[in-house]
Amino acid sequence: MNQKAKEILRTYFGYTDFRPGQEKLIHNILSGRDSLGIMPTGGGKSICYQVPSLMLPGVTLVVSPLISLMKDQVDALVSAGVSAAFINSSLSNDEIRETISGAASGKYKLLYIAPERFESAAFMQLIKEIEVSLIAIDEAHCISQWGHDFRPSYLLIKQLIQQIQPKPVIAALTATATPNVKEDILHLLDISHENVILTGFARENLHFNVVKGQDRDRFLFDYIKQNSSQAGIIYAATRKEVDRLHEQLVNSGVRAGKYHAGMSENQRKDFQEQFLFDNISVMVATSAFGMGINKSNVRYVLHYHIPRNMEAYYQEAGRAGRDGVESECILLFSPQDVHIQKFLLDQSIMEEERKESEYGKLRKMVSYCHTETCFQQFILQYFGEEDAAPCGKCGNCTDKREQVDVTREAQMVFSCIKRMNERFGKTFITKVLSGSNDQKIKSMGFNSLSTYGIMRDKTQKYINEFIDFLTADGYLVPSDGQFPVLSLTNKAFKVLLSEESVMRKEMVRAAQLVEDHELF
């Protein structure tokens, strides 16, 4: 690419090379293409607009919701020799006017703005004075109602873009890449699909695993004992569970702290500092813990309960191994917890549409627990990196069990679902397959289907788990909502046509599970 861009990177920022995603995004911006950059936190998003800002004729407006970080960013730029300023609620009207006229006269290359400013008509008028080459929209997921941090003022960005002539280039940036958030951003900002640049979500030093069918407390305590010299975080879903686990750990001599929203500010701060300085090795916490904590040598993150979605899971698990050293992320799965999360969702005050989407996300999280393919790959594909390769080190990649061919069984399930017109959920499908006497089956005439009772030699539990596996591995897709209906994917049709086979890890007997556990 552009020699000039590299030179700027070196002289102002002190780096010799761009990361792959940065290079592509900067190239796009300089070619005048509106783009969406999706990179994980720490992936280096700021460079993507800071470097072009120094190459484009006018000013780069940076929309950012994080007022507290704005000043730091501007200070850092100024000390690197880049002229920059910010406008947010901490400035007086006079100061705002002064800053804008400074930008209009070419005094600043970068101008950071809090989105709330767009609500002021006077401000929108003033901004027309500035020659704007590029609008960088940081934390772009805030524009989407599906994002975890929707801010209505972000929607006003569209007006801003329309007001400025000639039209500036748009660079939207975020670390959130779930499909519906991405689609929303593209739609609302009128960015085309080929201008999405998504990279670098893989965390190569993390070893993912899911532990099922075991006594969780026992697993947890054994694990902590075996790793007693290491720092780790235990996430639990409720304050009560955090208190309980913390108490038991302390009683058994583990140097543990705790963190949840029900504790006093001082208590929390105290434990947080002790953890940071390695006075305690284990932190038991709710999801309230972690925002802004920067401890690099966390060797493991253990989830005692299933988190509410993959975003939350990857963020929390990702607090392990910030220093690049090999670390473990283990989720202890128990089917009852899914009911707890569902119950919490039920109770929450959310619009119906939003709730449906949250159910869908929880279901994907459950699928993660049932997948038999690479866990890391599953996560990366969830975030949109479709060509991610297996990691080779997670619990599934290193699972030595033999693969068995379960194509015939899978065909039974698929053809049954098809005969039921893809209009029912897991439990009901299981009943038909197992030949249950349920009145509903008779009244719908499903007892005369050729697939009725076709799996009656298996337990309902087995069939249920088999359907979970087929869902996790993308043969079946559940609809959104609380009572999801299963339908077949293309992958399933290929199996029905005997074009592809379905392989599954051999079932293990209970005795073997214990052995695996001891080896772990």
- Does the protein bind ligand ADP through residue 39 (CB under 6 A)? yes
Smallest distance from ligand ADP to CB 66, Å: 10
- Binding residue for ligand ADP (CB under 6 A) from 12, 27, 33, 44? 44
User: Going along 40-93, which residue ranges are E strands?
Assistant: 59-63, 84-87
Do 335 and 465 contact (CB within 8 A), yes or no? Answer: no
- Binding residue for ligand ADP (CB under 6 A) from 47, 137, 242, 454? 47
Reference 208, options 318, 305, 114; nearest CA is 318
Rank residues 77 and 206 by Cβ distance to Zn ion and give the closer one. Answer: 206
Q: Which of ligand ADP, Zn ion, none lies near 394, with the C-beta cut-off 5 to 8 A by kind?
A: Zn ion
Task: Please state, in angstroms and rounded to a whole number, the distance separating the CA atoms of residues 70 and 319.
Answer: 24
Interface region with Zn ion, contact rule CB under 5 A, candidates 262-270, 311-319, 369-377, 453-461: 369-377
Rank residues 322 and 418 by Cβ distance to ligand ADP and give the closer one. Answer: 322
Smallest distance from Zn ion to CB 517, Å: 19
- Does the protein bind Zn ion through residue 513 (CB under 5 A)? no
Do 258 and 284 contact (CB within 8 A), yes or no? Answer: yes
x/- binding map, residues 370-409, to Zn ion, per CB under 5 A?
A: ----x-x-------------xx--x--x------------
Do 256 and 246 contact (CB within 8 A), yes or no? Answer: yes
Q: Which of Zn ion, ligand ADP, none lies near 478, with the C-beta cut-off 5 to 8 A by kind?
A: none
Task: Please state, in angstroms and rounded to a whole number, the distance separating the CA atoms of residues 133 and 148.
Answer: 30
Smallest distance from ligand ADP to CB 190, Å: 24
Interface region with ligand ADP, contact rule CB under 6 A, candidates 34-42, 111-119, 331-339, 367-375: 34-42
Q: Tell me the residue type at 11.
A: T
Q: Which of ligand ADP, Zn ion, none lies near 209, with the C-beta cut-off 5 to 8 A by kind?
A: none
**Residues 6 to 25: which contact ligand ADP by CB under 6 A?**
15, 17-19, 22
Smallest distance from ligand ADP to CB 295, Å: 17
- Binding residue for ligand ADP (CB under 6 A) from 24, 45, 246, 319? 45
Token pair recorded at residue 477: 């897709």
Token pair recorded at residue 469: 């596996």
Reference 136, options 55, 238, 216, 36; nearest CA is 36
Rank residues 155 and 202 by Cβ distance to Zn ion and give the closer one. Answer: 202
Count how many residues are written for the chain: 520
Do 32 and 169 contact (CB within 8 A), yes or no? Answer: yes
Q: H or E stretch including 461? A: helix 460-472
Describe the crossing of helices 45-53 and 20-30 by its angle, rounded to 10 degrees.
40
Smallest distance from Zn ion to CB 363, Å: 22
Backbone angles phi, psi at 251, to 5 degrees: -60, -30
Task: Please state, in angstroms and rounded to a whole number, the distance separating the CA atoms of residues 379 and 201.
Answer: 9
- Does the protein bind ligand ADP through residue 41 (CB under 6 A)? yes
Cis amide leading into 152 (omega within 30):
no
Cis amide leading into 166 (omega within 30):
yes
Q: How many amino acids of this chain bind ligand ADP (CB under 6 A)? A: 13
Rank residues 43 and 168 by Cβ distance to ligand ADP and give the closer one. Answer: 43
Q: How many amino acids of this chain bind Zn ion (CB under 5 A)? A: 6
Task: Please state, in angstroms and rounded to a whole number, the distance separating the CA atoms of residues 105 and 25.
Answer: 28
> Site residues (CB under 6 A) for ligand ADP?
15, 17-19, 22, 39, 41-47
> Site residues (CB under 5 A) for Zn ion?
374, 376, 390-391, 394, 397
